[in-house]
Structure 1
Amino acid sequence: MSSPYPVIASIVEGHGEERSLQALLHRLVPYLVPGAYAEIQRPFRVPRDRMLRRDVLEHALTIVTTRMPSPTGVMVLLDADDDCAVELAERLRSHAQATHAHMPVVAVAAVREFEAWFLAGAAGLAGKAGLPGTLASPPQPEAVRGAKEWLSRRMPRGSTYQETAHQPSFATLFDLDEARRAASSFDKFCRDVQFLLTGKRES
């Protein structure tokens, strides 16, 4: 069954992203393409070490691409940790191309971790979840080791950042414009989502 609008499937590595990516994509659709609509399917989770195996990624892609309505594109998202984000994303994209060349598949590795995007768009989190109203991004958010810890240190005494509790809500709050300017991997993520929506790459 084909759909008259884009249908985006996704593969993620963590429990937090399993909940937060869907909310973030819903937010990004009108932000990137005003007036657009897309169906955002529930992410399929595969642990990071297994996702990097071609056979495992192939199996995951087969699962998500046979859902109904049929996806028009797939987003693969994971944290780069200490690896090169560009090389990691290209490795995943190459694996996907080898087995699912018929399906538009994009791969994004968040530099360090997903939460680095929250640091890049920290102004949108100011005053939320006990964070200070004056919260501002660090100079190089993607260079921060331990973005989760950075957030925890700015929460009230006795509170800590909890991925499954905070990531879904923070994904709906962080400043998208700031994050695109300050985090190159988030800008790539936005450009890839726009490609899945329009079928066109920015020149």
Structure 2
Amino acid sequence: MPDIELPIVTDRLILRRFEAEDLERFHGYQSLPETARFLFRSELTKTRAMEVLGRYANFEFKQEGDWVCLAIERKDQPGLMGEIVLKWLEGTGQGELGWILHPEARGQGIATEAAQAVMELAFGTLSFHRLDAKLDALNAGSAGICKRLGMRLEATLVDNWHYKGQWATENIYAILDTEWRARSGQATSGQTAAGGESPTSGI
């Protein structure tokens, strides 16, 4: 598995490791009920935010079950704007995407641009075969991001999740490396990866 070279730079964004200086803004949006609405867990306390940030800052991505969570920052506006996750699922070349944004970053295409960069990493560098995103069916914002990324609605599992005291329907969006390469105009390589906390994607 190739190493992940950071930072990843796009037209507007810098995707990088989390740093201790991110704590205040990280806790700022992770403590909001609206952030946790479509996550299995509740909003984070300051102590819990410190623990999670430490794990994010010290990730390893070497085997199935590992995941990377990158901080999203705008080039023209220093400061944490959210996070983008890639998890290496069990099974050859399978991965899962997830994202959470600071309220200030929503509605600007930031999650889509960050996810496009991570798809490039997954398919182009890590040679994954398939990526998916698992959403609560009520999460219309993230569903829109999946569609803009070229992901198709692959399955709807009615009342598949039970969290926060109620049943929820799970929508699974997915894209294959061949579909991604066709959209991005790249030749198909035919390669697969050696081996994939984002129960739902949030915005």
TM-score, normalisation: structure 1: 0.30
TM-score, normalisation: structure 2: 0.30
Greater fraction of residues in strand: 2
Greater fraction of residues in helix: 1
